[in-house]
Amino acid sequence: MEFRDNKAIYLQIAEYVCEHILLGKWKADEKVPSVRELAVEMEVNPNTVMRTYELLQNKNIINNKRGIGFFVDEAAMDNVRNYRKQQFIIDELPVVFRNIYLLNIGFDELKSKYETFVKENFNA
């Protein structure tokens, strides 16, 4: 995984985990990779992954079954959506709105582009 400089690595790993859950690659009650496994895969220090897992535990996205490992929480899908939606609204949407305003992009054009994007990327 290539990390961006503008955001902490543990938060980028959290986005990776959340995306896997939203895409259905990691399902409720399934075991997620161990801290060491994910650290090797991401080429980061295990402490970084542990920090990610602690954040996701606090958001009720994953849970730790002592001695067994980390698992996707039953309510992970909803919790991920709420967490990611809040992040998007606070961090990214103001930039999008600024560009829409500055470039004079109409909502009809946005809607058309969005529908095309969804059709091309998510309707198999």
| Chain segment 29-85, per-residue pLDDT in tens | 999 999 999 999 999 999 999 999 999 999 999 999 999 999 999 999 999 999 999
The reply to whether 14 and 72 lie within a common domain is: yes
Decide: 36 and 53 in contact? Cβ < 8 Å: no
What percentage of residues in the chain have a pLDDT greater than 70? 99
Q: Is 63 helix (H, G, I), strand (E, B) or coil?
A: strand
Predicted pLDDT at 13: 97
Residues 53 and 108 grouped into a single domain: no
| 15/27 Cα distance (integer angstroms) | 16
Both 95 and 118 in one domain: the answer is: yes
Q: How far is it, in rounded angstroms, from Cα 77 to Cα 60?
A: 10
Full-model pTM: 0.80
Average pLDDT, the chain: 94
Domain that holds residue 94: 78-122
SS3 8: coil
Residues 71 and 92 in one domain: no
Is the domain of 69 the same as that of 95?
A: no
Residue pair 32/17 in contact by the 8 Å Cβ criterion: yes
Residue 68: CATH number of its domain: 1.10.10.10
Please tell me the predicted confidence (pLDDT) of residue 124.
Answer: 54
Residue 23 lies in a domain: yes
